[in-house]
Amino acid sequence: MKVAEVVPEFADAFGFEEFNRMQREAAPAILERDENVVAAAPTASGKTALAELAICRTLERGGTALFIAPLRALTNEKESEWERFEELGYSVYVVTGERDLNPRRAERADILVMTPEKTDSATRKHDSARYSFITDVDCCVIDEVHLLDSDTRGGVLEVTVSRLRRICDPRVVALSATMPNIEDVAAWLDAPPETTFEFGDDYRPVDLHAGVRTYTHGDNAFADKYRRLYTALDLAEEHIRDGGQALVFVSSRQDAVRAAGKSRDEIGKRDIPMGARGDYDFHTEAKELADDELAKAAPDGVGFHHAGLAKDDRDRVEEWFKEGKIQLLFSTSTLAWGVNLPARCVVIRDTKYHDPLEGEVDISPLDILQMLGRAGRPGYDDVATAGSSATAPTPTSTGNCCARARRSSRGWRRIWTPTSTPRSRWGRSATSTT
């Protein structure tokens, strides 16, 4: 099924020419019916195209589409990607807390891109002239609706969507990673069985198989971090030597900075061929970074990414990683939520984070699933000949986890699969709250 045949007027808005199997099965429900839609599919299976189809249908009818993204980083990415809609004559406007709102531009926009928190604020103040634009939404696309499972942000998303439906009753298209209770979400959104889709792991273009790499646990938590770091480097080294890249998730911003610095020393000891010291332009650009530690690490092919970095620094790190100039990147969970920055090898170094009130807390299964999704995403790693790796903890494990899939002449084949996989656990009563 070719894009030009399905949506000829919007063919140039898509970054590909033909829909995959998952998209072909869901497209008729989005384009030919008016009911709300819920679609759950594995990470990297192409859910963004479903969002774009819903937006195209809304624009074709002269309506306004709202795209709710879980992170500001993702709103920025969509703004860049959807310049294709701008080229077709449609206006895309991003509304987030870090930008000054221009009510006139928001009112005239054909596509609004917002975070749940900003949408919450707008729906609360919809009677004011400043936020009246939210009442004109005809279609609301919710990306990563399994955010409902989040202890901290799930309630915000739930009440925001419920309030938006009361205010202007838009069509809702909810997209999610695989979750066990999709029927509850569909019932909450009044999506009939005909427009509710649950796609299994066989729809993922690049197979993902999880496993655990253990380490010797000591009495010193600080030393344990370095034990896990060395284990993470062990997992990443073979892929970096083969020309691939590695993405390592850590629990805090400070850990990301420290891990990057320590890794530079360890990489030197192991004599791993990394860095772009001979690239004068890259070296010059790195000096312009606002963060001094990042400026030192980037020319060595090592970087870090977290929400505390200046926006220009984050944008440059993402660009350099996509270009392969940074081969080893340490990040907090910021990069796990939808930002299209995949790697051949993904390692979750820390399975816990420090909560000021509760102390050491396990990372939620929701975040684990998102991190896993960064491994071997199509369009980036299709030409890889070495293993595609990811990591995933089990509730009782203490240590690094590794998931692998190898690409051979016969495609991706399974190496090892654990007996259980982290699952989303959104099980609250799916009731409308205003």
Q: Which of 8, 53, 1 is nearest to 24 (CA)?
A: 1
Sign of dihedral through CA atoms 250, 98, 310, 90? positive
Distances (CA, A) of 9 to 26, 49, 59, 63, 88: 19, 15, 10, 16, 9
CA distance 336 to 421: 17
**Are the C-beta atoms of 286 and 298 separated by less than 8 Å?**
yes
Q: Which of 362, 348, 341, 356 is nearest to 400 (CA)?
A: 348
CA distance 188 to 23: 23
Does the domain spanning 212-414 belong to CATH 3.40.50.300?
Answer: yes
Distances (CA, A) of 425 to 197, 220, 428: 18, 32, 9
Residue pLDDT, tens place only, 179-218: 778 999 999 999 999 999 999 878 877 766 666 777 777 7
Tokens standing for residue 6: 């399905």
Could you give the 3-state DSSP secondary structure of residue 345?
strand
Q: Which residues of 320-347 are buried (b: 16+ CB within 10 A; e: fewer)?
A: bbeeebbbbbbbbbbbbbbbbbbbbbbb
**Are the C-beta atoms of 237 and 272 separated by less than 8 Å?**
yes
Helix intervals (H) in 242-379 = 253-270, 280-287, 292-297, 311-323, 365-372
Of the CATH numbers 3.40.50.2000, 3.40.50.300, 2.60.120.460, 3.30.530.50, which one belongs to the domain with range 3-203?
3.40.50.300
Where in the chain are the domains?
3-203, 212-414
Place of tokens 């796990």: 336
Which parts of the chain sit beneath pLDDT 50?
A: 382-399, 401-434
pLDDT of residue 392: 38
Helix intervals (H) in 330-422 = 365-372
* 315 DSSP assignment: H
**Are the C-beta atoms of 236 and 248 separated by less than 8 Å?**
yes
pTM: 0.77
Residue pLDDT, tens place only, 247-291: 999 989 999 999 999 999 999 899 988 877 667 888 889 999 999
pLDDT of residue 75: 86
Q: Which residues of 370-384 are buried (b: 16+ CB within 10 A; e: fewer)?
A: bbbbbbbbeebbeeb
**Are the C-beta atoms of 63 and 138 separated by less than 8 Å?**
yes
Distances (CA, A) of 320 to 235, 304, 326: 22, 11, 6
CA distance 229 to 259: 7
Amino acid at 176: S
pLDDT of residue 39: 96
3-203 and 212-414 share one fold: yes
